[in-house]
A = this chain, B = another copy of it.
Amino acid sequence: MSRFLSDKYSKLIPYTPGEQPKEMEYIKLNTNESPFSPSPKAVKYAAKEAERLNLYPDPECRVLTQKLADKLGVEFDEVLLTNGSDEILNFAFMAYCDFKNGAIFPDITYGFYKVFADLYNIDAVQVPLNSDFTIDITKYFNCGRTVFIANPNAPTGIALSLSEIEKIIINNPDNIVVIDEAYVDFGNESCVNLIHKYDNLLVTQTFSKSRSMAGARLGFGVGCKELIRDLNTVKYSTNPYNINKMTMAAGIGVLEDEEYTLNNCREIVKNREFVTNELKNLGFEMTNSTANFIFVKHNEIDGKELYLKLKENGVLVRHFDKNIISQYNRITIGTKSQMTTLLDTIKRIMEEQI
């Protein structure tokens, strides 16, 4: 760091994105991307919009916001689009946490929550998961902090039910509960409709996973009008033109092509079941993931070693050094063919192991 950097960042440890090695072609199963191309409609609209880049985008994202609101069954002013869902999470930390009002989230969850808390010097309680990696919801009741829950959770893939989520919301009447639904579209029910019942609920989602738009950076938050107004205050004080024109156009395209998204999600769920069964047959243990990834370990091979051997063999998965989960690997669900290659590679590694 330079001699000028503010002291407040002297101990800050930034987020580490999944690796993107360039030295060879990998089967990328490490960042939970969609293996499917974006919707042809998204591509077409984005390409068309590229011709008009000389003009600023609409800072209110009117067309896309209305279309998304319609799809979600909410009002225009109950939605805020952001530059990826990291940005809406950032805005939530800015708006709803401060030196008086800390944060609370599981110790094993999306790593960015801790980074945001540290960035803004917010006191954060990290609640241990149960030994089976499930979340004990009662630990989030009435703790006087802003609650951040990824549902399903990452990297475990385990989801809370809608009624469990509702209990967390009810039991925090004076604090915001942020439900991060980045992985909701692969067999889970969203809690978006609860925003009409509770003024303390903010739901975040992303176009990166089910909608094949990780490269476009589009996320959003849904909440009651007052919350969206708060978050707009933060947006208009940091980056009013946060969404570029091409991404907005691609978002409109993919929302007009809902069947394409639904088909891709069904395919991911099918491939998840396939690879889950095959890995169980090979002696793997895993969490009950309802996301577009699985979280697996094998008693006969060290987690880090499996990760490294897969990488050597051209398959990238995500391994976390954190002690409690160091025996596990998080594997993104890809196409049937990618899953078959993964399984063949794992079999080969396991055979060499013996």
Interface residues of A (CB under 8 A from B): 1-9, 12, 14-18, 20, 28, 31, 33-38, 42-43, 46-47, 49-59, 83-84, 86-87, 90, 94-98, 100-101, 115-116, 118-119, 175-176, 199-200, 208, 212-217, 224, 226-227, 229-230, 232-247, 250
A153 shortest CB reach to chain B, Å: 21
- In contact, B238 and A1 (Cβ under 8 angstroms): no
- In contact, A213 and B54 (Cβ under 8 angstroms): yes
A33: which of B14, B56, B96, B176 is its contact (CB, 8 Å)?
B56
Cα A213 to Cα B52 with chains together (Å):
8
Cα A214 to Cα B53 with chains together (Å):
6
A304 shortest CB reach to chain B, Å: 23
> Which partner residue on chain B sits nearest A200 by CB separation?
B4
- In contact, A216 and B98 (Cβ under 8 angstroms): no
Cα A2 to Cα B234 with chains together (Å):
13
- In contact, A54 and B37 (Cβ under 8 angstroms): yes
Cα A199 to Cα B3 with chains together (Å):
9
Contacts A4-B200, A97-B6: A53 and B57 contacting too (C-beta < 8 A)?
no
- In contact, B17 and A240 (Cβ under 8 angstroms): yes
- In contact, B239 and A14 (Cβ under 8 angstroms): no
Cα A100 to Cα B59 with chains together (Å):
33
Q: Which residues of B contact A49 (CB under 8 A)?
A: 215
Q: Which residues of B contact A241 (CB under 8 A)?
A: 17, 84, 86, 214, 217
> Which partner residue on chain B sits nearest A243 by CB separation?
B217
Cα A208 to Cα B90 with chains together (Å):
25
Number of copies: 2
> Which partner residue on chain B sits nearest A94 by CB separation?
B6
> Which partner residue on chain B sits nearest A56 by CB separation?
B214
- In contact, A53 and B212 (Cβ under 8 angstroms): yes
Q: Which residues of B contact A237 (CB under 8 A)?
A: 9, 12, 14-15, 115-116, 118-119
A216: which of B229, B238, B244 is its contact (CB, 8 Å)?
B244
A53: which of B43, B56, B59, B233 is its contact (CB, 8 Å)?
B43
Q: Which residues of B contact A47 (CB under 8 A)?
A: 46-47, 50
> Which partner residue on chain B sits nearest A248 by CB separation?
B215
Inter-chain pairs besides A1-B230, A37-B54, 8 sampled, C-beta below 8 Å: A5-B233, A9-B233, A33-B56, A54-B213, A57-B215, A86-B239, A217-B244, A244-B247
Cα A136 to Cα B274 with chains together (Å):
71
A8: which of B35, B43, B98, B243 is its contact (CB, 8 Å)?
B98
> Which partner residue on chain B sits nearest A264 by CB separation?
B54
A301 shortest CB reach to chain B, Å: 28
- In contact, A233 and B14 (Cβ under 8 angstroms): yes
Can you give 28 contacting A-B residue pairs, CB < 8 Å? A1-B229, A2-B224, A2-B226, A4-B230, A7-B98, A7-B100, A8-B98, A9-B230, A14-B233, A14-B240, A15-B236, A17-B56, A17-B59, A17-B236, A17-B241, A18-B56, A37-B51, A38-B52, A43-B51, A47-B47, A54-B213, A54-B214, A57-B214, A83-B242, A87-B238, A116-B238, A217-B242, A246-B247
